[in-house]
């Protein structure tokens, strides 16, 4: 069977069950039950657009017999959920591997994930650096380490490229999509200047797994697509446990209910991966903005309405639209919708 035929079959099964969706509408613990399993599908010719769909167990058995050029994985019935691809974005919002969303506005360097067992001990860390935005904060920069190599991406209010490979500033004059000559321990990095305000950096791992850093003005977003248990199963950090997305502490025992305590728990402690040192550094704790920091409206300034915010966020997926509207209204900036 040709790959395109297999894709059609998978898509047909998924749509029949009403669960076919994009990368941020992946399967989660509430929908993946009984005879349903998750399949990570990467469309032929577009491997960067991997997403998770649900199919019947009987359908999976047929697909599994074919030699395919894209990654498939099954849901472990002993897990509480099927990994949806963790992410962090906005002011900032976090989505665990299981799809649970929460906010933490602490200003500091945070461990999105740390996994020393990645690729048989090569190791991977993804850290983010938050900065104050009135009574909230935003992800101002993010860095990924694989082995001994790092890629750091920073937002810029003017939209220009700002990135570093192993601490060395990258070429800010890139205008077309390209694969950089540098790699992260052999894993390629693709830079895509989407517009004057937006740039995407994609790290391509094995089996179509990808880590994408997206910048919109001074906002940075981090997304994980098609993560597998083999590579990310031992990850810890703000994305929670890979199986179930539990918000566990560094002792791997304590489960946090208070998100501020959970955020403080995962302040970076094991060394700075960024090219510079900024903001509170452990053991100084993360700074939490207070309501007294709320932005003061300028005289005569237009106040964005609910209708205007909903229109600005209309292109955003259902999964994130409410958060987009909230950010636009709170920061009183329509352009913030571009960060989604």
* 118 vs 155: CA distance, rounded Å: 27
Identify whether the C-beta of residue 199 lies closer than 8 Å to the C-beta of residue 170: no
Q: Give yes or no for residue 83 having a pLDDT over 80.
A: no
**Of 270 and 65, which is predicted with more confidence?**
270
Higher-pLDDT residue of 325 and 295 is: 325
**Average pLDDT in the 261-273 region?**
95
Could you tell me the pLDDT band of residue 73, with boundaries at 50, 70 and 90? very low
103-152, pLDDT tens digit by residue? 898 999 999 999 999 999 999 999 999 988 766 678 999 999 999 999 99
Nearest-angstrom CA–CA distance, 54 and 33:
10
Q: Is residue 268 a contact partner of residue 141, using CB atoms and an 8 Å limit?
A: no
Query: Which residue in this structure is represented by tokens 């906002």?
Result: 219
Which of these, 141, 49, 58, 50, lies nearest to 92 by C-alpha position? 141
Sequence-separated (6 or more) residues with CB below 8 Å from residue 43: 7, 49, 70
CA dihedral 214, 215, 221, 225 (to 10 degrees): 0
> What's phi and psi for 304, nearest 5 deg?
-65, 135
Angle between helices 57-64 and 3-16 (to 10 degrees): 170
- 38-42, 77-81, 153-157: which range is least confident on average? 77-81
Main-chain phi, psi angles of 94, to 5 degrees: -120, 145
Interval 240-250 mean pLDDT: 92
Helices (H), the chain: 3-16, 57-64, 118-121, 229-232, 259-265, 306-312, 321-331
Residue 254 pLDDT class (50, 70, 90 cuts) = very high
Mean of pLDDT over the chain: 76
- Residue 40 CB neighbour total at 10 angstroms: 26
Stronger pLDDT, 92 or 258, i.e. the higher one: 258
Question: Helices (H) and strands (E) in the chain — how many of each?
Answer: 7, 16
Given a cut of 70, whether residue 48 has pLDDT beyond it is no
Which residue(s) pair with 189 in the sheet? 203
Query: Structural domain boundaries of the chain?
Result: 3-64, 87-265, 306-339
Cα–Cα distance, 102 to 96 (Å, whole number): 8
Whether the predicted pLDDT of 191 surpasses 90: yes
Segment 208-233 mean pLDDT = 88
pLDDT average, residue stretch 156-166: 82
pLDDT of residue 25: 35
Distance of CA 15 to the CA centre of its chain: 25
Res. 253: pLDDT tops 60 = yes
Please report where in the chains the tokens 């550094």 appear, as a residue. Answer: 281
pLDDT score of 244: 83
Torsions phi, psi for 299 (to 5 deg): -55, 125
């Amino acid at each position: 069977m040709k790959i395109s035929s297999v894709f059609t079959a998978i898509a047909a099964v998924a749509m029949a069950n009403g669960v076919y969706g994009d990368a941020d509408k992946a399967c989660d613990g509430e929908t993946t039950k009984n005879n349903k399993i998750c399949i990570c599908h990467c469309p032929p010719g577009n491997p960067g657009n991997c997403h998770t769909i649900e199919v019947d167990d009987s359908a999976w058995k047929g697909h599994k017999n074919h030699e395919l050029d894209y990654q498939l994985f099954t849901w472990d019935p002993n897990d509480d959920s099927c990994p949806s691809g963790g992410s962090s974005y906005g002011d900032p919002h976090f989505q665990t591997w299981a799809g649970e969303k929460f906010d933490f506005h602490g200003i500091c360097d945070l461990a999105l994930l740390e996994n020393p067992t990645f690729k048989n001990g090569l190791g991977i860390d993804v850290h983010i650096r938050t900065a104050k935005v009135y009574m909230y904060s935003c992800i101002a920069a993010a860095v990924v380490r694989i082995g001994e190599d790092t890629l750091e991406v920073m937002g810029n209010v003017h939209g220009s490229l700002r990135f570093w490979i192993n601490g060395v500033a990258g070429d800010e004059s890139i205008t077309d999509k390209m694969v950089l000559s540098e790699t992260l321990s052999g894993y390629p990095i693709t830079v895509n200047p989407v517009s004057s305000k937006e740039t995407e950096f994609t790290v391509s791992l094995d089996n179509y797994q990808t880590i994408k850093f997206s910048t919109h003005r001074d906002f940075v977003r981090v997304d994980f697509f098609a993560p597998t248990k083999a590579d990310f199963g031992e990850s810890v950090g703000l994305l929670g446990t890979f199986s179930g997305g539990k918000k566990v502490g560094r002792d791997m025992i304590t489960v946090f209910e208070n998100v501020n305590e959970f955020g403080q728990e995962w302040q970076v402690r094991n060394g700075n991966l960024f090219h510079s040192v900024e903001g509170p550094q452990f053991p100084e704790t993360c700074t939490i903005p207070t309501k007294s920091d709320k932005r003061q409206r300028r005289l005569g300034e237009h106040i964005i309405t609910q209708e205007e915010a909903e229109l600005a966020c209309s292109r955003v997926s259902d999964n994130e639209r409410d958060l987009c509207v909230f950010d636009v209204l709170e920061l009183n900036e329509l352009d913030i919708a571009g960060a989604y």
